[in-house]
Amino acid sequence: MAAFTRGYVRAGNWWGSPLLLHWSILLGALFFSGFRFAPAFWAGFFGLVLLHELGHAYFVRRYGQRVLSVEVHGLGGLCTWSGKVSPIRRAVIAWGGVLAQWLVYSGATFFVWIQGVPETSGGREILHVATTTNLWMIALNLIPVRPLDGAEAWPLFPRLYRRWRMRHVLAKDEELRVQRMLSRTKLRAADALEDEAADRPPPEIASLVDDVLRRAKERDPK
């Protein structure tokens, strides 16, 4: 994002791509925590933002493109990549971050269903990040306004519908073409049978000819 050109620290690599952390992530964590001292919440928030960007990076690599960097900053993060993909795949990449967050939410919900709410304050803070804060971030990211993910994510569904319609129309056209071809084949077969029948003498004449030939043989056995 152009607003962040300095203040990054390289924290590691992800499949050869640099993982960059910006100091402003602390401000984002502080804002979502309600400006209170909550180290466990901050750690969970950082992890959630990182997973969101890695969700984008996963689909970028899945489609054979190159991830240039994974950045985490106060406004969320950014997965920069290079390559050329179809509009549908670009929309899927945009959904990747939200899908990663939804997996976190589903896992947290399942954990509470099995184990119950954590007894420690730190555990409850992390659970809050994985559920309530997570849902708020999903809703924010899906607003269809750039640079949020929703601007490229929501067009996925009309594009899929148009592709389905196109395939449906093409399948219908192919079915009609096959039916027309079968009809022409049947007509040719019927014409051939008619021609063959026309070349053969009527049964009465054929019987008369056979009878004449038989009598001729009886008169002249040689």
DSSP per residue, 63-112: TT-EEEEEEEETTEEEEEEE----HHHHHHHHHHHHHHHHHHHHHHHHHH
**165 vs 92 pLDDT, higher one:** 92
Q: In this predicted structure, what is the pLDDT of residue 169?
A: 84
pLDDT at 75: 81
Residues 88, 30 within the same domain = yes
- In terms of domains, do 117 and 45 share one? yes
- 148 and 176 share a domain? no
Element (H, E) at 9: strand 8-14
For residue 2, the model assigns a pLDDT of 42
Q: Same domain, yes or no, for 146 and 76?
A: yes
On whether residue 127 sits in a domain, the answer given is yes
73 shares a domain with 141: yes
- Whether 181 and 111 map to the same domain: the answer is no
Residue 2, domain member (yes or no): no
For 126-143, how does the pLDDT look when each residue is reduced to its tens digit (9 = 90+)?
Answer: 999 999 999 999 999 999
160 part of a folded domain? no
Average pLDDT over residues 78-103: 95
Check whether residue 146 and residue 169 sit in a common domain.
no
Q: Is residue 1 part of a domain?
A: no
Residue 3 lies in a domain: no
Give the model's confidence band at 116: pLDDT under 50 very low, under 70 low, under 90 confident, else very high. very high
Q: Which range marks the domain in which residue 113 is found?
A: 8-154
